[in-house]
Chain A
Amino acid sequence: MINFLLLPILIPLMTGVLLIFFPKHIKWQRWIAGIFSFITIIVSTMLVQKVKTDGIQTLDVSSWDAPFGITLVSDMLSALLVLTTSIVAFACLLFSFRSIGEEREKFYYYPCYSFLIVGVNGAFTTGDIFNLFVFFEVMLMASYALMVLGGTKIQLRETIKYLLVNVISSALFVITVAYLYSVVGTLNMAHISERISEVGQPGIITVIAILFLIVFGLKGAIFPLFFWLPDSYYAPPVPVMALFGALLTKVGVYSIMRTYTLFFYHDTGYTHQILAILAILSIIFGVIGAIAYWDIKKIIIYNIIIAVGAILFGVSAMTPDALTGSVFYLIHDMLIKAALFLLVGVMIAISGTSNLKDISGLIKRYPGLAWTFFISALALAGIPPLSGFVGKLLIIKGGFEAEQYWGAAIVLMSSLLILFSIMKIFINGFWGTPRAYEGEEKVPVKTLMIAPVVLVTISVFYGVGSEVIFPYISQAAETLVNPEIYIEAVLKER
């Protein structure tokens, strides 16, 4: 079936549309959303296998040949990201069932949720720069709705900020695409890359590269464009926050990866140097934030910025090792951030507060929660058998190979401080004298724990079984290192 790579976009889209018809039947909403979300996981696993055996999959939508119509391209990187997205989406959905509350569920929570997945999967799969913009908007509109849904005061305030920032960055995106179109005269990504290599990246293309960095940096929260993220992600309920933290910024990161390896690789001296500096500064500022706060949600939120910095540092080094490391770390980070947000959500559900100073001694009564949190904390910091290790190792190795000694050293040092920030939660929240919290008996801890345990298990396998995973990752990085593969797959006849 030639439309196979479309299914991870089409299935959530159909789910979202179907769920609009009966908003008040919560049970049906949950079942249908859950089942179709699971089918999406199966389909994207099959897609990964198909890309592995048959090479890059392309689909010329509505039968128009490559540069003229919209092309959807599933190379290994996007197939893996689609699979990770589906897994994270399913886990957060499981968590939503027990924690989001009927009031929100009755007002189109699950349709918005499905449309968000459509946007993310579409952004990962598309091979057309304007189509990327459209999928960004699909994702963002759904995220506005999910962020404001419920209508508490803090949500309203933060949604206004989030909306303003994203409307401005989307306008800048359109302007940037307009500049690019007026220079190269095409929107198909492979064709753009070919045209740019024909003219050999003159000054105007470098300007466009920096504009793209600003646009995607605003979406993906790099220094100094991350200012909106800590407050905005603080506002929505936990499963939504986990979904945003795991997926939304990573779409921006993926777009930087794609554009900087496919379009702007001819004159790396300027653009990639700026990317490296900004990535390092993101790590430093993220670390400062993660250490400074005594609020468990804030600590995890600042860890998003650190991870974005580490991944983009790998991209800026542009060596095969560094790119492989970036892909490895990107997928690891999506899984582990979702798991950590959900675990923090369970802690907040039990204790009723996110202030670390008001929580202590949780390990006595909730050992399962404590040890799951401990494992995911070690994975986040990159302790050897776990999933964060291989990615960061390769990023640092690539950094040294590219003679970015300072940057690689800072990535290395940041691990220590990440470990410190996350162990602060573990030591203060789980050790110490147990306290009684109001209404903790009512919290369904066992059912809430299913989703984070699943995610942590997957991430442990991802780390321990990196030998098995590695061929997939290196196939993904191969396309990044060598854009010719991508171009040939899309523009077949030339």
Chain B
Amino acid sequence: MKTNDLILQTTTKVVVFIILLFAVYIFFAGHYTPGGGFVGGLLTSGAIVLLLLAFDLKTLQNFLPFNYIYMIAIGLLFSIGTGAGSLLFNVPFLTHAFTHIDLPILGDLSLHTATLFDLGVFLVVVGVTMTIIQTIGGDE
């Protein structure tokens, strides 16, 4: 017998976007306030897990057709690449660089290569969490 989970599914559709937005906010806030790639990644996978709870695995895989293992590898490439980029300039590994850019609407932005490193962390965390949950949950 199928239970009626209309309320759960409708709420999920609204709440997931709020969580994802919060995850992105936490990710970008990491440099100046608490946050960063790790919590941002965990929040994102939290949102995906909520979708997994409200719907089922198949629907989710249709909706988000990611290969999470590739996501881990791409995240690692981002992080290592950011570090190894410094090899080209003959400065020690993982030396970061930053610059200020004035954009019309957003105003003064400080862009830092550490964000790219954090993006790698973000992808790895999402990839690892989702791989674990989908592998355990997807076992028939």
Residue ranges of A at the interface with B (Cβ–Cβ < 8 Å) = 1-3, 6, 10, 13-14, 17-18, 20-21, 59-63
Contact = CB atoms under 8 A, between A and B. Distances in A.
Contacts of A59: 92-93
Contact of A20 (B70, B84, B86, B91): B70
B90 interface: yes
Given A17-B73, A17-B80, A20-B72, A62 B90 contact: no
A10 B84 contact: yes
A61 B92 contact: yes
A116 to B, nearest CB: 16
A62 B93 CA distance: 6
B73 A3 contact: no
B39 interface: no
Contacts of A3: 86-87, 90, 92-93
Contact of A62 (B69, B70, B76, B92): B92
Contacts of A2: 90-92
8 contacts: A10-B80, A14-B84, A17-B80, A18-B73, A20-B69, A59-B92, A61-B93, A63-B95
B93 A1 contact: no
A447 B65 CA distance: 43
Most buried by A among B91, B94, B96: B94
Interface residues on B, range: 10 to 19
A63 B70 CA distance: 31
B77 interface: yes
Interface in B62-115: 69-70, 72-73, 76-77, 80, 84, 86-87, 90-96
Contact of A6 (B91, B93, B95): B93
A21 B84 CA distance: 20
Nearest to A60: B92
A19 to B, nearest CB: 9
Given A3-B92, A6-B93, A20-B72, 14 more contacts: A1-B87, A2-B92, A3-B86, A3-B93, A10-B84, A20-B69, A20-B70, A21-B70, A61-B92, A61-B94, A62-B92, A62-B95, A63-B91, A63-B95
A480 B87 CA distance: 31
- Those 7 A-B pairs whose CB atoms lie nearest each other, nearest first: A20-B73, A62-B94, A63-B95, A17-B76, A63-B92, A62-B95, A3-B87
Contacts of B90: 1-3
A223 to B, nearest CB: 38
B78 to A, nearest CB: 10
A20 B74 CA distance: 10
A17 B76 CA distance: 7
A13 B93 contact: no
Contacts of A61: 92-94
Nearest to A17: B76
